[in-house]
Structure 1
């Protein structure tokens, strides 16, 4: 079997992005562009991957980690010069090398595989990944001979009238015979206006040596989009979003409005889930069957149980059981765990709290650093007072307890099993099992006093 290698060009600063963030680290669907490239290439089962880094090298290396070897391009002197930096790692190897730009996040592993296969079956020394563009303006044209082989690549500004009519364009992705690539790179000149070494010059050098150069047409022009500015970044985001949404819909997920639904690549969604418009689902979230999410809901790194319903709410880094109803306008903060058949209603905030099965926190309440048992009812306006300005403390509310409206539970404190807390109470001592606890100030009525206050005004 032919050995396969990859060179990823990720050294550019990306000045047109107008950003302090290095170009290839700009996210598409929540994942840096270069990460998309690497993830898709990994499926091709390469023998070695080399990433050429320059600007922001430390950040890029830190993000990619052990998935690739790295070479630093100290000066950015063109794409040909960038590939030359991989010479010490690859020059003595036999096989096929793919050269990919780190700012092309939309090319799929199926296209990479097809490009490799086409190149190796054709016997070519180089194969250009091409695409058919409805408007090829600005792109380098791929000029083929009568045999269908690639004769040359002509930049738009250098093309004559006939060449400008060609709509097959160079995408900047190539497969090479590895030995032929590094041999031809020795002949690439920087005798041009920019004083740079251009990788497409290798194509012309190989043709002058009467070597075969092939072209493989990408099945989808949109895949080949290179991201050079914020406009293209938004285009890539849209294409990736619709691609991800289509995958889920074909797997049995009902996405009511795909244009208004944002799902990141690592999200897992089971059949018969319904997702309403304005929903954003990110991170390593899993949503079980028959759940209903949205509208206008944000979920990140959560497990959502079967048949649960989350509306107009935010949930992050938490576990939510089966048959749970959350929202509208609830906030599930990190490290929360919500059991089955729980209700978390409107304007409720849950933080680092475990709620067991069949409990209710219906409205206008804050449960922070707490453990609620089963069948607990939390009245409107109740809060756990968990922070003394320095430390956080635990509130425990045991099974079958009932906490009346507008109660303050000052932690650390335990409300015993089956007990009642009267509405308007401030509780700073443990409540025994099956007790009624009342922590109110005594009410005093002063007859006619309100009238005196009004007359004073």
Structure 2
């Protein structure tokens, strides 16, 4: 089997078994009322499709096939962002879940040991759950593994028909009889199939039902008829919730955030008010990091040991060094890199800039496309003028420099180490190390001018 480039996402498991993951993503998601494909909507900064692809890759998938509908180029681009060599196949007609799985017939025929069928709109399933499905298949006696859950209200869900602990069939709600509808053990839809039986079982599925569709769920009864065993793996209902509309997307986001917050705290971070903090799927918080209330993390943030992120700060694509302080009301944009013990204060924005150890930018400043040397101090209202309407330019500030309040540094420009920029300066040329630059008009005063001006205006 060809190796998948997603192996870096995986836990090192199943060295002697191969796995194909088929992710169904062809649904239009009309209830989302969106121009985006449903699977493109995001949880914790990553698309639902991205979460599913990452999970099956971490569970050891050697090959991943995503089944999409026609004209869904956005889904293809998103899939390749997560798994560069993912295979995309098109389900031109929507004739049920088994029909969608068979869109990947060529990959199934390649002879993988384990086949995992997942759904792009079921983004909360953990890699460990997919791994448990594979473990059940690896036992050698089970041809089908179905994920199930105990529903508080089973209305609308397919039921798992069990007898003496053995899964005999799955009945869709609309096709269930009154006794079957009383059952509370429900089908989550996700499935593991032994590869050696997959094509025979899938090919035997018919469409004799109220919807005239090919239900993947019928595979259990077909396997039983062929004397092949099926089993159910029961998980929490929250883990296998599907997302079909905006309300369910919000609920899934809340569940994902709870999971991420719990993980962050278990690894040694303090979240003062956890429910007010928004994390991204890849937020990394070191030990003894403290996050005050109402902080938002976008993707790509690492905060190292001992750092403090104060309230109402927003961070994305940024790296915060050990024992640094950020905020309150600070914004770190992509490319912000803060070394240890940096102070970024209230209403300061940093973008695509490196800030050296111990530097301080404490008030009302914008620092973009810049390098700020260690132990430098940038006064209130300092800005780097990095954009002329056509291109971006860099500002270099040396170690130990002092930038007076309300100074504008017009890039490209370099401020030497230890230099002093006087308050209110507009610096347009390089400044030598250890020098003073005063770049402002000389103050002049005209006694009595204001009184005369007012008197003249009143007469007119």
Superposed pair shares fold, TM > 0.5: yes
Greater Cα radius of gyration, structure 1 or 2: 1
Name which of 285, 303, 317 aligns with 2:301.
285
Q: Which residue of 1 aligns with 2:258?
A: 242
Alignment of 1:359-370 (within 5 A): 359-368=376-385, 369-370=394-395
Q: Which residue of 1 aligns with 2:44?
A: 29
Aligned equivalents of 1:99, 1:85: Cα separation in 2: 12
Name which of 166, 188, 193 aligns with 2:205.
188
Q: Which residue of 1 aligns with 2:96?
A: 78
Aligned equivalents of 1:298, 1:94: Cα separation in 2: 45
Name which of 346, 360, 372 aligns with 2:397.
372
Offset of 1:375 from its aligned partner? 2.3
**Distance of aligned partners of 1:54 and 1:399 in 2 relative to their CA distance in 1, 3 Å threshold:** same
Offset of 1:349 from its aligned partner? 0.8
Q: Which residue of 1 aligns with 2:193?
A: 176
Q: Which moved more, 1:255-264 or 1:115-124?
A: 115-124
Give the alignment's Cα RMSD to 1 decimal. 2.0
Name which of 35, 42, 46 aligns with 2:61.
46
Long gaps (5+) in structure 1: 387-392, 427-438
Q: Does 1:382 align with 2:407?
A: yes
Alignment of 1:55-454 (within 5 A): 55-65=70-80, 66-91=84-109, 93=111, 95-121=113-139, 123-146=141-164, 148-218=165-235, 220-311=236-327, 312-316=329-333, 317-333=335-351, 335-368=352-385, 369-384=394-409, 386=410, 393-409=411-427, 411=428, 413-422=429-438, 425-426=439-440, 439-440=441-442, 442-446=444-448, 448-454=451-457
**Distance of aligned partners of 1:446 and 1:233 in 2 relative to their CA distance in 1, 3 Å threshold:** same
* Residue correspondences, number: 431
Q: Which residue of 2 aligns with 1:455?
A: 458
Q: Would the aligned equivalents of 2:325 and 2:344 in 1 still touch at CA under 8 Å?
A: yes
Offset of 1:121 from its aligned partner? 2.1
**Distance of aligned partners of 1:365 and 1:94 in 2 relative to their CA distance in 1, 3 Å threshold:** closer
TM-score by structure 2 length? 0.88
SS at match of 2:257: helix
Long gaps (5+) in structure 2: 1-15, 386-393
SS at match of 2:170: strand
Q: Would the aligned equivalents of 1:181 and 1:202 in 2 still touch at CA under 8 Å?
A: no
SS at match of 1:85: helix
Aligned equivalents of 1:132, 1:7: Cα separation in 2: 25
